[in-house]
Amino acid sequence: MEEKKFDLNSIIGFVLIGAIFIWMLYLQQPTEEEIAAQEAEIAAQAKAAADLATSSASQEDITLNEATQQMSSVTATDSVGMQKLQNRLGSFAYSATLPSASDATTVIENDVLSLTISNKGGYVTQARLKKHTTYDSIPVYLIKDGNASLNFQFSAENRLLNTQDLYFEPSLSLNGNNQVLTMRLKSSDNAYLEYRYELIPGEYMTNFSIQSKGLEDVLNTSQPMYLDWKLKGYRHAKSISYENRYSRLTYEYENDKHSKLSPTGEDQDVEVAVNWLNFRQHFFSSMLLTDTSFKEVAFSSRDLVEDETVDTVYTKQYGAKILIEPKAGGVAQNMNMYYGPTDYKIFKKYDRNLDQAMPLGWGIFGMINKFVIIPLFGFLSGFLPAGIAIIMLTILLKLALSPVQYKQYLAQAKMKVLKPEIDAIKERLGDNKMKIQQETMKLQNIAGASPLKGCLPAILQIPVFYALFTFFPTAFDLRQKSFLWADDLSSYDTIYQFPAGFSIPFYGDHVSLFPILASLAIFWYMTMTMGQNMQAQQQPGMPNMKILMYLSPLFMLVFFNNYASGLSLYYFVSNLITIGIMLVIKNMIIDEEKIKAQIIVNKAKPKKQNKFQKKMATMMEQAEEQKKIQKKKKK
The ranges assigned to domains in the chain are 105-357, 371-604
For the chain, the average pLDDT equals: 80
In the predicted structure, residue 67 carries a pLDDT above the cut 70:
no
- Is 463 in a helix, a strand, or coil? helix
Residue 232: its H or E element: strand 225-234
pLDDT, one tens digit per residue, over 282-313 is 999 999 999 899 999 999 999 998 877 777 88
In the predicted structure, residue 148 carries a pLDDT above the cut 90:
yes
- Is 277 in a helix, a strand, or coil? strand
Residue 135: its H or E element: none
pLDDT at 139: 93
Q: Residue 390: which residues within 8 A CB-CB, separation 6 or more? A: 377, 483, 489, 566, 569, 570, 573
**pTM score of the predicted model:** 0.76
Task: Please report which confidence band the pLDDT of residue 58 belongs to, taking 50, 70 and 90 as the band edges.
Answer: very low
pLDDT at 1: 40
Bigger pLDDT: 184 vs 19: 184
Beta bridge pairs of residue 197: 181, 208
pLDDT at 611: 59
Task: Identify each DSSP E strand in 368-492 by its residue range.
Answer: none
Beta bridge pairs of residue 139: 133
Q: State the DSSP string of 36-91.
A: HHHHHHHHHHHHHHHHHHHHHHS--B--HHHHHHHHHH--TT-HHHHHHHHHHHGG
Q: For residue 273, which of 290, 293, 292 has the smallest C-alpha distance? A: 293
Please provide the CATH number assigned to the domain covering 105-357. 2.70.98.90
pLDDT at 64: 41
Task: Please report which confidence band the pLDDT of residue 405 belongs to, taking 50, 70 and 90 as the band edges.
Answer: confident
Bigger pLDDT: 69 vs 207: 207
Task: Identify each DSSP E strand in 111-168 by its residue range.
Answer: 113-118, 124-133, 139-143, 148-156, 159-162
Number of CB atoms found within 10 A of residue 439's CB: 18
In the predicted structure, residue 5 carries a pLDDT above the cut 60:
no
- Is 9 in a helix, a strand, or coil? helix
pLDDT, one tens digit per residue, over 468-505 is 888 988 899 999 899 999 888 988 888 888 887 787 88
The per-residue b/e assignment along 600-614, b for 16 or more CB within 10 angstroms, e otherwise, is: eeeeeeeeeeeeebe
In the predicted structure, residue 233 carries a pLDDT above the cut 90:
yes
What does each C-alpha distance from 450 to 308, 411, 440, 522 come to in angstroms?
A: 49, 7, 10, 24
Mean pLDDT over 216-235 rounds to 91
Strands 284-303 and 314-324: antiparallel
Give CA–CA dist 61/53, Å, rounded.
Answer: 14
Number of CB atoms found within 10 A of residue 218's CB: 22
pLDDT at 117: 95
pLDDT, one tens digit per residue, over 435-450 is 777 777 766 676 666 6
